[in-house]
Amino acid sequence: MDFHRIRKAAFVTLVAVALLLVGGYFFRLPLARAALHSGNAFFGGGMPYSLSIADTLYRVALRLDPRVEDAWHQRARIAFLGGDFRSAKDMINTQIALHGDSFMASYYIRGLIYGFNKEFAPAEKDFEHFLAWDPNNWAANNDLAWLYFSQGKFNETDIQASRGLLQNPGNPWLLMMRGMARFNLGRREEALTDLSEAREAARLLTEADWSKAYPGNDPRAATLGLSELHATIDKNIALIQLWM
């Protein structure tokens, strides 16, 4: 980790706080935005990845201006990554209450939070709201399909994954999701075709592709993430072949 760059960013933040004390109210908004942007730099934005530093900077931004852009959204993402779904839900609800549809990604994040907390009905509603705004988003289609799959709604999973594949053909996550849905529907030949295509597509992915698919995750986890994706696809293929 580049400690010199971290110390430099921390110093900039301290200077920003000092300027706040001197400058008063009229400097609050630009300083809040500066702290927000510094937080984003540590949250996958070019600086050494550090959720703790990013969260501290988002706290500073919110202390300066409780309504600053997407700071509540970013803090919710960090809480979610840490498995603190209760705090994540409170934060993302605050974000949506303050900013509503001006930042649609918040509905996506809240859908994930609800989904991992097994609150499926509100999770579905949030993903549907997001997809009404961005219907071709492959990840949202895949995550809504995952919600259906988690509830045993395999026909709905098949339909949603197929919808995502219309605009994102060859996407390994969508192919794997549809393949497993079709396996559970008894359509094993189709399932094996989907999973085989998913395996070939996954082999072409780079670590940068994985990081793009999982924004906010530590980029150093990309190697392991790709390995786990390959292993999951292989395991599912083996399962399908066992039943054929």
pLDDT of residue 18: 57
Q: What is the Cα–Cα distance from 143 to 124, expressed in whole angstroms? A: 9
Sequence letter at residue 97: A
Q: What is the pLDDT along the chain (244 residues), one digit of tens a residue?
A: 555 666 656 565 665 555 555 555 667 888 899 999 999 999 999 899 999 999 999 999 999 999 999 999 999 999 999 999 999 999 999 999 999 999 999 999 999 999 999 999 999 999 999 999 999 999 999 999 999 999 999 999 999 999 999 999 999 999 999 999 999 999 999 999 999 999 999 999 999 999 999 998 999 999 999 999 999 999 999 999 999 8
- Long-range Cβ contact pairs of 191-198 (< 8 A, separation 24 or more): 191/240, 192/237, 192/240, 192/241, 192/244, 195/233, 195/236, 195/237, 195/240, 196/237, 197/170, 198/172, 198/173, 198/233
- Looking at residue 12, its pLDDT comes to 57
**pLDDT value of position 16:** 58
Structure confidence at residue 227 (pLDDT): 97
| Dist. CA 191–CA 185, nearest whole Å | 9
Phi, psi of 212 (to 5 degrees): -65, -35
Q: Which CATH number fits domain 135-244: 3.60.15.10, 1.10.4030.10, 1.25.40.10, 3.40.640.10?
A: 1.25.40.10
Give the pLDDT score at 13: 62
Radius of gyration of the chain (CA): 21
pTM strictly above 0.85: yes
Amino acid 7: pLDDT:
64
Domain ranges of the chain: 1-69, 135-244
